[in-house]
Amino acid sequence: MAKNVPYSSCETPVITRRKIVNRNRHYSFQDNFRWKGVKVDEYKTNGDDWDGIARQVLIGACGESTKFHLRYFEIKPGGYSSFETHKHEHVVIGIRGSGKAKLDRRIVHINYLDVLYINPETPHRLYNPYDAPFGFFCIVNARRDKPRSLKKK
């Protein structure tokens, strides 16, 4: 598995030549919703149907053999994810501030530690209509299909 995993913050630049190994890891929580040793990326590297989202991959980029990946996303006030659909599921857990999810035509409010399960092929978007950051864990299958953008808000 490690072969297919892109270079990630699990290995610092100093040890880029070291093989990424599947081993016990402890990511301690830091100030401002960062985890020690985990880098912050943009939500996506392309597209114009999203805004103001950062991503941290906590489990899934460092050779872990789990059938799932754990990510933390944070949406700035006014930000939103792509409105999209796919075969794989999402499990979302709110941990910072509050936000909303549009599930097809339904709007769900996500508060602290609420758990949201998004069923396969449900068109969805997460967004932050509030004045404070909205942060959440998102768990997905490690092997998953590519999202299809629905190109509307």
Q: Which residues bind a copy of itself (CB under 8 A)?
A: 22-29, 35, 58-59, 64-68, 70, 89, 91, 93-95, 103, 106, 108, 111-120, 122, 137, 139, 141-143
Q: From the CB of 140, what's the least distance to a copy of itself, in Å?
A: 8
Query: For residues 5 and 51, which CB has a smaller minimum distance to a copy of itself in the complex?
Result: 5
CA distance 109 to 115: 11
Calculate the CA dihedral of residues 46, 47, 51, 52 and round it to 10 degrees. Answer: -10
Query: For residues 66 and 149, which CB has a smaller minimum distance to a copy of itself in the complex?
Result: 66
Q: From the CB of 67, what's the least distance to a copy of itself, in Å?
A: 4
Query: For residues 5 and 93, which CB has a smaller minimum distance to a copy of itself in the complex?
Result: 93
The residues, ordered by sequence, that sit 6+ positions from 65 with a Cβ below 8 Å of its Cβ are 1, 22
Query: For residues 7 and 117, which CB has a smaller minimum distance to a copy of itself in the complex?
Result: 117
Q: From the CB of 48, what's the least distance to a copy of itself, in Å?
A: 27
Tell me the longest C-alpha to C-alpha distance in the chain. Answer: 48
Nearest to 145 by CA among 89, 92, 80, 91: 89
Structure tokens at 115: 């758990």
